[in-house]
Chain A
Amino acid sequence: MFIELLRLSLQTFRTHKMRSFLTTLGIIIGVMTVIAIVSLIQGMNYEVERQISSLGSNTIYVQKINWGVGRLDWDEVSRRPNLTLDDALAVARLPSIARVAPMRGRMIGRITYRGNKVTDVDLTASTPSLAEVGSYQVEVGRYISSDDSLRKRSVAVIGVHPADNLFPTVSPIGKLLTIDGKSYTVVGVLARKGSFLGQTQDNVIHVPITTFEKDFAPGRGFGELQYSVTIQAMPRRGVSVDVAIDEIRELMRRRHGLAYNKPDDFGINTQDTIREIYRNITRVAYIVMIAVAAISLLVGGIGIMNIMLVAVAERTREIGLRKALGATNQLVLWQFLLESVLLAAAGGAVGVMLGLGIAKLVEVIGHLRAAAPLWVVLLGLGFSAAVGVFFGIYPASRAARLNPIEALRYE
């Protein structure tokens, strides 16, 4: 009997191809949105997780600010004391800390070499330990040495981007480039790091922090120096990140003379902080997605109910005839319910395919590993079928309740 009903429904769709398609459009769009967005978020999750891990799972960033989105009191932050190289040295002496890299950074407008230039380069001034703490690999040449640092040598290690653009044909090693009017000798090129959260990490240049303070100190005409030092710290092997964080916090509070009831006036950030921020962003994306999907499914469901009511009206005579020939009310109900469920589920299936298509497209174009987990495909199909049941039950019960005589008389 079920097969009979199924065949009947398919026949109806065949006679009303265009109408059936338009009816399911809402559901198609809803499911497509869900599948596409979930696939993309999954892909992004994978990518972001890979990149966050690349930060080094246990690197601790002690900074003037706390990482986060939209919950910083800038007024309060601006009153915080700057972190200094002395702070970095103190952190380095903590028993739980293996290595520390103090860091200053600023954006450099232009770096030139014989008429070639690169713009908006991210300049990082630090000590040799940054290579290890920040897990930088040197591809050609060498990294900054402690000798460079001690003697305040004008040397630079450059990223792939300036290397390719300033020295397209020659080896950059030993060449003299100009950073905002100061000359630096290139001693090494960093290995490619790729991009992090959509931002390239290869348009960088590293110089010794001591040289940087000599060349770009405030009051020498180069404003916008980042006054506060960022301290990257790596805990000793076997020491948990939390223990290290506690030690750093205690030290910094002592150095800043904070009373026990005052909040921290510095930020201690880790990989997990980024994860937290990222989770907040994706949570918003999920909420938006659910809203869009819910609205399209609602609209789609109403469309299905509408078309099923039309179908019931159109086929009033048929319903009367079927009842005269022995169809029970229940069978008539099932027939129309099955039809609306199939309609909705077919829309869901098309939506799944389009969603997967979009995800694939983005994967090819955007180099994201988009992946639709099975649960979301099943959820999409299940939800659309549920919409079919929910919005089909009223038209179907109307068909089932039709009086056969009136239905047969209906023109």
Chain B
Amino acid sequence: MLIRTEQLSKAYRTGAVELLAVNEVSVEIDQGEYVALMGPSGSGKSTLMHLFGCLDTPSSGRYLFDSRDTSTLNDEELAHLRNREIGFVFQSFNLLARLTAQANVQLPMVYARVSPPDRRARARAMLELVGLKDRMNHRPNELSGGEMQRVAIARALANRPRLLLADEPTGNLDSRTGQDIMRLFDDLAGQGNTIILVTHDQNVADHARRVIRMIDGSVVS
């Protein structure tokens, strides 16, 4: 089992009103699973994904990554976990505009202190894997939306993480490009990567082998 949550909750306070974005969620996800986290906007799926990604800390409950209770980890250990074990893909790509595709892919490896030659070699391999062999030295503004998302996926895979988290990865793409990206996720899942997709799109969720549905902060199925 890769991750497990036990009555995991996250509450936000806006003024006097307390909002439970995630309400006592208990799920387990195994190594190699291909999961879609589905729900309408405001259902808490993004918040749950942030908790999975150790970007956020729960208000109550426990989150275990590889049997380790993440609440016992300090800032540095959490950063280490995000760096080595988790890869993020965002809806809006979040590439650094002034860096080339290759340099963007190298970023997580910089924080993992991989040596520059190794970094370059692995960045090239990753970009080849996502089909951007000819685009290595282009900057984001010279790439199409689909290409940018491929760079972002290559970046997420750079440190060979055990969990790939994607937040609406096709949300900013047209449907054909979105299909291409989804096929890439399918391939990655086929190679044994653990993937959690956050989406509100049934067509995207259909690619996954397991769907977790959320409404109002709770898991409904």
Q: Select one of A15, A325, A330, A404 contacting B107, CB under 8 A.
A: A325
A-contacting 9-mer, from B49-57, B64-72, B200-208:
B49-57
**Residue numbers in B under 8 Å from A404 (CB-CB):** 55
Count of A-B contacts judged by CB separation below 8 Å: 53
What residue of chain A has the Cβ atom nearest to residue B80's Cβ? Answer: A326
Give the docked Cα–Cα distance between A216 and B17 (Å): 103
Give the docked Cα–Cα distance between A81 and B217 (Å): 104
Q: Within residues 148 to 169 of chain B, which ones have a CB less than 8 A from any CB in chain A? A: 155, 159
**Residue numbers in B under 8 Å from A405 (CB-CB):** 50, 55-56
Q: Which of A1, A322, A330 has the most chain B CB atoms inside 10 A of its CB?
A: A322
Q: Select one of B53, B80, B84, B159 contacting A324, CB under 8 A.
A: B53
What residue of chain A has the Cβ atom nearest to residue B111's Cβ? Answer: A326
Q: Is A331 an interface residue (CB 8 A)?
A: yes
What residue of chain A has the Cβ atom nearest to residue B85's Cβ? Answer: A326
Q: Is the CB of A318 within 8 A of B96?
A: yes
What residue of chain B has the Cβ atom nearest to residue A325's Cβ? Answer: B108
Q: Select one of B50, B56, B83, B96 contacting A326, CB under 8 A.
A: B83
Q: Mark B10-37, 1 if CB is under 8 A from A, else 0.
A: 0000000000000000000000000000
Q: Is A298 an interface residue (CB 8 A)?
A: no
Q: Is A321 an interface residue (CB 8 A)?
A: yes
**Residue numbers in A under 8 Å from B53 (CB-CB):** 324
Q: Is the CB of A322 within 8 A of B88?
A: no
Give the docked Cα–Cα distance between A324 and B107 (Å): 11
7 CB < 8 A contacts A-B = A323-B82, A325-B83, A325-B108, A326-B82, A329-B75, A330-B76, A405-B50
**Residue numbers in B under 8 Å from A408 (CB-CB):** 55, 90, 94
Q: Is A328 an interface residue (CB 8 A)?
A: yes
Q: Is the CB of A325 within 8 A of B88?
A: yes
- The total of chain B residues at the interface (CB under 8 A) is 24
Known: A15-B98, A321-B96, A405-B56. A328 touches B79 (CB 8 A): yes
Q: Is A119 an interface residue (CB 8 A)?
A: no
Q: Mark A2-29, 1 if CB is under 8 A from B, else 0.
A: 0010000001000100000000000000
Give the docked Cα–Cα distance between A324 and B56 (Å): 10
Q: Is the CB of B108 within 8 A of A326?
A: yes
Q: Is the CB of A11 within 8 A of B107?
A: no
Q: Is B121 an interface residue (CB 8 A)?
A: no
Give the docked Cα–Cα distance between A27 and B108 (Å): 35
Q: Is the CB of B98 within 8 A of A11?
A: yes
**Residue numbers in B under 8 Å from A326 (CB-CB):** 79-80, 82-84, 108, 111-112, 159
CB distance from B4 to the nearest CB of A (A): 22
CB distance from A145 to the nearest CB of B (A): 86
Q: Is the CB of A322 within 8 A of B98?
A: no
Q: Within residues 57 to 116 of chain B, which ones have a CB less than 8 A from any CB in chain A? A: 75-76, 79-80, 82-84, 88, 90, 94, 96, 98, 107-108, 110-113
Q: Select one of B50, B80, B107 contacting A322, CB under 8 A.
A: B107
Give the docked Cα–Cα distance between A327 and B88 (Å): 13
Q: Is A161 an interface residue (CB 8 A)?
A: no
Q: Is the CB of A4 within 8 A of B110?
A: yes
CB distance from B42 to the nearest CB of A (A): 14
Q: Select one of A11, A15, A331 contacting B111, CB under 8 A.
A: A331
Q: Is the CB of A327 within 8 A of B111?
A: yes
| Nearest 9 interchain pairs by C-beta | A326-B83, A326-B111, A328-B79, A325-B108, A321-B94, A404-B55, A326-B82, A324-B88, A328-B76
Give the docked Cα–Cα distance between A329 and B50 (Å): 18
Q: Is the CB of A327 within 8 A of B98?
A: no
Give the docked Cα–Cα distance between A408 and B95 (Å): 12
Give the docked Cα–Cα distance between A323 and B111 (Å): 10
Q: Within residues 299 to 335 of chain A, which ones have a CB less than 8 A from any CB in chain B? A: 317-318, 321-331
**Residue numbers in A under 8 Å from B56 (CB-CB):** 405
**Residue numbers in B under 8 Å from A329 (CB-CB):** 75-76, 79
**Residue numbers in B under 8 Å from A328 (CB-CB):** 75-76, 79-80, 111
**Residue numbers in A under 8 Å from B113 (CB-CB):** 1
**Residue numbers in A under 8 Å from B111 (CB-CB):** 322, 325-328, 331
| 18 new A-B contacts at CB < 8 Å, known A4-B110, A325-B83 | A15-B98, A321-B94, A321-B96, A323-B79, A324-B55, A325-B88, A325-B107, A325-B108, A325-B111, A325-B155, A326-B83, A326-B159, A328-B76, A328-B111, A404-B55, A405-B50, A408-B55, A408-B90
